[in-house]
Amino acid sequence: MKRTDDRNLRGLAARYTRRQVRQLTEQIEGIRAAEDIEFVHRARVALRRLRTALAVFAEVFGADRVKAWRKALRGTARDLGDARDKDVQIEYARAMLAGNCDPAAVLGIARVLVRWEKKRESLQPVVLRSLRRLLSSRVLHEILDACQKLRAKDQGKRAPGSPAVYAHARENILARFQELWSHRECLADPSDFQRHHAMRIAAKRLRYTMEIYRAEYGSRLEGVLDVMKQIQAYLGDLHDCDVWTVELGKALDKEAKRLAARYGHPGPLPRLEAGFRYLQEERSTRRRQVFDALVRYWRGLTEAGFWDELGEAVQPPFGPEPEVAASAASPTADQTASPVSGVAGSPPAGATGSPAVGGDGRSPTSPARKETRKPPAG
């Protein structure tokens, strides 16, 4: 029997995917009203989870259909992401003005806030058009219809502890984990911005993939998910700081050109520039702090054997079936290459710099250790 013939796997695909479509559509009226930024945030997260679910269950829904659906969803996800990023930046600038920032920086920060607010206003019709296109394309209806057919085919029957579901979960979760693990060496270099960004995406994908199977494992994934959320939060904060730094530089250049065109000279640019530079320095300082915290956190996870615990957590409760064991075999040499240069085993207490990332060179999830460990506190 093919794995896709398992009614529990089809049922999981239908339930989870349908839930994300519903979650997305429930935010649309709030997005149109534009009175609460959380509607955009929830819609963005629902779209991310939906696209992840479609990729995970491509063999259930059909690879060609899934490819078309994910492509249709991509543009809306991007537009919601742009709007959400500006919402977060606006909230941050407002908090800076309401706090105890340098009085000399107030004028410049206020100017940044005005720029971001105008930009966000210009993004609102873009978001609404994107949502209208998505709804008129009937892609969401097609997805819901496919989910309904899966549910009807199995008449709602569900048997707990399906080996096919656990095999599917382990295969997908460990594949996403290896993607995250492959980026670990970038934690040795605080200036490796591109790989930090790639690691952020990998962490997000791993977390969302794990969430798909959360109900199947009961509480066994909760501790691991908490850790993944913390790693994603650190990497997301790094990315936010990077975006701020780049956009502030561009905004300052535009401000200088605007003032020169208006006055024929820099005019009040020096007073405005103080606020721009203040924000850039604050964001740079924040990035260094977050990066150091992430390195310490990753090292703590490694020293505590957390990566082996992740492998244990996705084992089926009744032991791996032969096909599961085969899919969870040790990864390739490229995936288990030596960790960050100069790091072997655990670093000295209080050391900074390169995190310990599997100094023995073996796969962190194979073989799994027998003892149970709690992940380090976040």
Residue 283 CB-half CA count within 13 A? 23
Structure confidence at residue 218 (pLDDT): 84
Helices (H), ranges, 156-268: 163-181, 193-212, 214-217, 222-263
Q: Residue 339 has which token pair?
A: 């960790």
pLDDT of the residue at 265: 77
Would you state the structure tokens that stand for residue 194, as one six-digit string? 């591109």
Residue 102 DSSP code = -
Q: What percent of the chain has pLDDT above 90?
A: 66
* The predicted structure's pLDDT at residue 264: 81
> What is the model's pTM?
0.81
Instruction: Give per-residue pLDDT as tens, 228-259.
Output: 999 999 999 999 999 999 999 898 888 888 88
> For position 352, what pLDDT does the model report?
35
Q: Residue 260's pLDDT band (boundaries 50, 70, 90)? A: confident
Quote the tokens at residue 251. 């905004």
DSSP secondary structure letters along 104-163: GGHHHHHHHHHHHHHHHHHHHHHHHHHHHHHHHHTHHHHHHHHHHHHHHHHTT---SS-H
Q: Distance between CA 292 and CA 283 in Å, rounded?
A: 14
Q: Strand ranges (DSSP E) for 111-228?
A: none
List, for residues 41-56, the tens digit of each pLDDT value. 999 999 999 999 999 9
Cα distance between residue 89 and residue 77, in whole Å: 18
Q: What does the pLDDT read at residue 177?
A: 96
CA distances from 202 to 13, 179, 251 (A): 22, 6, 30
Q: Which domains does the chain have, with CATH numbers?
A: 1-101+119-158 (1.20.120), 160-330+370-378 (no CATH)
Distance CA 24, CA 268 (A): 45
Return phi, psi of residue 167, to 5°. -65, -45
**Highest mean pLDDT: which range of 204-213, 256-265, 350-359:** 204-213
The angle that helices 139-154 and 7-25 make with each other, rounded to 10 degrees, is: 150
Report how far apart the first and last C-alpha atoms of the chain are (Å, whole number).
43
Nearest alpha carbon to residue 120 among 87, 143, 157, 150: 87
CA atoms within 13 A on the CB side of 219: 0
Least confident of 129-143, 164-178, 269-283, 340-354: 340-354
Q: Chain-wide mean pLDDT for the chain?
A: 84
pLDDT at position 361 is 36
User: Which of 212, 194, 187, 217 minimizes the C-alpha distance to 347?
Assistant: 187
Q: How confident is the model at residue 111 (pLDDT cuts 50, 70, 90)?
A: very high
279 within 8 A of 244, measured Cβ to Cβ: yes
Mean pLDDT to the nearest integer, 357-364: 39
CA gap 364, 306 in Å, rounded: 9
**Predicted pLDDT at 311:** 87
Determine the 3-state secondary structure of 109 from DSSP: helix
Higher-confidence position of 129 and 350: 129
Amino acid sitting at position 238: L
pLDDT tens, 294-308?
999 999 999 999 998
User: Does residue 98 surpass a pLDDT of 50?
Assistant: yes
